[in-house]
Amino acid sequence: MVEVNFCKCFPSFQCHTPNIVKSMKHTKCEVLSRPYYYVFLFLLYVVSVLGNTAVMVIICLDHRLRTPKYIAVFSLVFADLFGSSALVPKVLDIFMFDHHYIPCDDCFTFMFFCYTCLAMEPFNLVALAYDRLIAIIFPLHYHVKVTHRLMFSLIASFWLLIITAILIEVGLLTRLSFCKSVVIKSFFWDYVLFLWLPLVFILSCYSCIGYALSKIATVQERGKAFKTCTAHLSLVAIYFLPVMSTFRYTHLNARLTNPFLVSTLPPMLNPVIYVLQTQEIKESVKKLFKIRKKLKIKMKRVVIK
């Protein structure tokens, strides 16, 4: 939980509450008071940073991955990396060092970056769903319908939409007066942002894909086509299932821990899924290791000579 002293930061607010912020020592969540929670959170963050950075480096180094699909993948891992870096260090600072007070400007800035990255992930999944839809339903027209320019424009428009919407939201919040309870019972102000529209689009895409696959004659061909969608479906499940479960609970422990799962588990698991389930990434990793071995052999020969 985070305490925000709005009255101190906005002198124009007329607050008549003597005790502006309640003490957190008596309201701290049981889960957040245990040391193993912070260790687990830190390990998730480290794995997330290493995994997402590795995927970004692989995409940049391998020219075979410079395809429209991997523009969306790069945007996804970038949002995961940036979002987890915005959220996790601040959460650790709040709960490990008892820094429960946060100035309102810092709170709004924190909120902007967290929401931007969190809301951008489902839109990246929308772009990848469109890519799979065209690849399966119109395989012969894939390279005509899904171009670098189209995918880059789509991703850029999503980023622009999210940033504009969050800026408007934050701007409107600064006009509000917070003079009673200023205790926020969460890591940040969590609620559903642009989630249902992307989910409906993704489900519609896979309904069309399922209908198209049902027309394929052999089961082997169906399985081969569906296998190209398994990585994306895994990402969709990892993101949306925790999100949908979060807003079903009103208990404090659930409201605190579920946003944590939504914000930290997908960034950690996404690169792992892409490395294990995407053939192109596997081949790129093997190629990079082969190049590394060849360089080591050449270096040894130079040293021997």
Q: What pLDDT digit, counting tens, does each position of 278-290 carry?
A: 777 878 877 777 7
Q: Which stretch, 36-40, 165-169, 175-179, 251-255, has highest mean pLDDT? A: 165-169
Of the chain, the percentage scoring pLDDT greater than 70 comes to 71
**Per-residue pLDDT tens for 210-245?**
888 888 767 888 888 888 888 889 889 888 887 777
Is the pLDDT at 170 greater than 80, yes or no? Answer: yes
Of the chain, the percentage scoring pLDDT greater than 90 comes to 23
Structural domains counted in the chain: 1
**Per-residue pLDDT tens for 9-48?**
433 333 333 333 333 344 445 555 566 777 888 888 899 9
Angstrom distance (rounded) from CA 175 to CA 65 = 46
Please tell me which residue, 259 or 168, carries the higher pLDDT value.
168
Is the pLDDT at 201 greater than 90, yes or no? Answer: yes
Is the pLDDT at 305 greater than 80, yes or no? Answer: no
Angstrom distance (rounded) from CA 106 to CA 110 = 6
CATH code at 149? Answer: 1.20.1070.10
- pLDDT score, position 128: 94
- pLDDT score, position 131: 94
To 10 degrees, what angle do helices 104-137 and 252-277 make? 40
Angstrom distance (rounded) from CA 297 to CA 206 = 48
**Per-residue pLDDT tens for 58-115?**
888 888 888 999 999 999 999 999 988 888 888 788 777 777 677 777 878 888 888 8
- Give me the helices (H) in the chain, please: 6-9, 35-61, 68-96, 104-137, 142-145, 148-173, 196-214, 219-227, 230-246, 252-277, 279-304
Angstrom distance (rounded) from CA 109 to CA 86 = 10
- pLDDT score, position 101: 72
User: Taking the model in full, what pTM does it have?
Assistant: 0.80
Angstrom distance (rounded) from CA 58 to CA 275 = 10
Residue 215's domain spans which residues? 2-304
Please tell me which residue, 264 or 34, carries the higher pLDDT value.
264
Show the tokens assigned to 41: 């959170």
- Of residues 41, 52, 40, the one with CA closest to residue 270: 52
